[in-house]
Amino acid sequence: MLHTGGGSTQVVGFIPMRQPKGNAVNNLSKKALIGLLRFQVILAFLLFLPAWSLHFWEAWLYWILFFVSALIITLYFLKHDPRLIERRLAFGPSAEPEKSQKIIQAIVGVLTCALFTTPGFDYRFHWSSVPTLVVLIADALVVLGLLVVFFVFRKNSHAASVVKVEADQPVISTGPYQFVRHPMYAGAILMFLATPFALGSLWALLVAILLCGVIIVRLLVEERYLSANLPGYNVYCQKVRYRLIPRVW
C-alpha cells in the first residue's frame, strides 16, 4: 500500500518507461489475475481454517466483497493503466530497496495475517460478537476504503507497492492528494479498522490498531525519503499540511 507521487530513495533509470504492449500486456494480465486469485485462496485459508467452519457468514461476505472490488479495480487498470499494475506486482519485504522498509513490510505482513486469522478464532471460540447491522456498515466502509485506493490509483500511476522514485515521476497534488498527502494510506487504514467489525470480531480490532500504527511509521519514514529524492515534494508538503485526515493530522 503506497501513497503520494510514488515515493522513495531509489531513483530508477533516466528514460521514461513505456506502456507494455501485445504479448507483454497478456502476460501482465495473467500475472495480475493469477496473483489476485492466489491472494483470495490464501485469504480464504486465513479466514476459514481458524474458524474451522464454512458457516462463518461474515467471512464469506467479506471475502466476496473484497474479491469483486479487487477484480474490478484490477480489470480497470489492466485496460486503462497497465503500467500501474506492473509497478504494483513487486511487493513485500524482498522488493523494498531500504532495510528499514523491509523490516516494516515484514511486520505489516505478520499483522495482516493476524488481522484475518483472529476473527476466525473468535468465531470458533465465541470470544466476542458484533451486531449484524454493524457488520454490514463495516463491510460498506471496507468497500469505501478500496474506492479511495481506486481514485488514488487513477490519479497517480506511480503508486507502486514499494517505496521508490522514478526519474520521470511528478509530484501529484490534485484529486485526493489536494486534501491529504497520503490518501492511499488513509483508504487502507479505513479498510483495516473496519475489517474487525466486518468479520464480527472485537478482538481483531487490537490487531488492526497495531497494524495502523506500523503503517503510520512507514508513512513517516517514507516522507523523509520523498523529501530527499522527489523534487518538489517539500513544496507540496507546505501546500498540503495534513497527512491522513484533513484538519486533524
Q: How far apart are the first and last CA of the chain?
A: 19
| Amino acid type, 133 | L
Predicted confidence at residue 167, as pLDDT, reads 63
| Alpha carbon distance 205, 193 (integer Å) | 7
pLDDT tens track for 15-54: 334 445 556 668 989 999 999 999 999 999 999 999 999 9
- pLDDT tens, position by position, for the chain (249 residues)? 333 334 333 333 333 344 455 566 689 899 999 999 999 999 999 999 999 999 999 999 999 999 999 999 999 999 999 988 887 876 666 666 677 778 888 999 999 999 999 999 999 999 999 999 999 999 999 999 999 999 999 988 877 666 666 667 788 888 899 999 999 999 999 999 999 999 999 999 999 999 999 999 999 988 888 888 888 889 989 999 999 999 888
pLDDT digits (tens, 9 = 90+) for 161-177: 666 666 677 888 888 99
pTM: 0.86
What is the per-residue pLDDT for 20?
53
Q: What cell numbers appear for 153 in the block?
A: 490509483
Distance CA 111, CA 207 (A): 7
Q: Is the dihedral of CA 162, 182, 105, 34 positive or negative?
A: negative
**Phi, psi of 165, deg, nearest 5:** -120, 125
Cα separation, 20 vs 81, in Å, equals 10
Q: Which amino acid is located at 187 in the chain?
A: G
Nearest to 221 by CA among 83, 98, 58: 98
Q: What is the pLDDT of residue 11?
A: 32
Nearest to 171 by CA among 230, 131, 241, 101: 230
CA–CA distances in Å: residue 97 to residues 134, 169, 190: 40, 17, 27
The cell 506486482 sits on which residue? 89
Following DSSP, what letter does each residue of 40-88 receive, concatenated?
HHHHHHHHHHHHT-S--HHHHHHHHHHHHHHHHHHHHHHHH-HHHHHHH
Tell me, what's the pLDDT at 83?
A: 86
Give residues with Cβ within 8 angstroms of 176, minimum separation 6: 148, 151, 152, 155, 183
Question: Which domains, from first to last, does the chain contain?
Answer: 11-239 (1.20.120.1630)
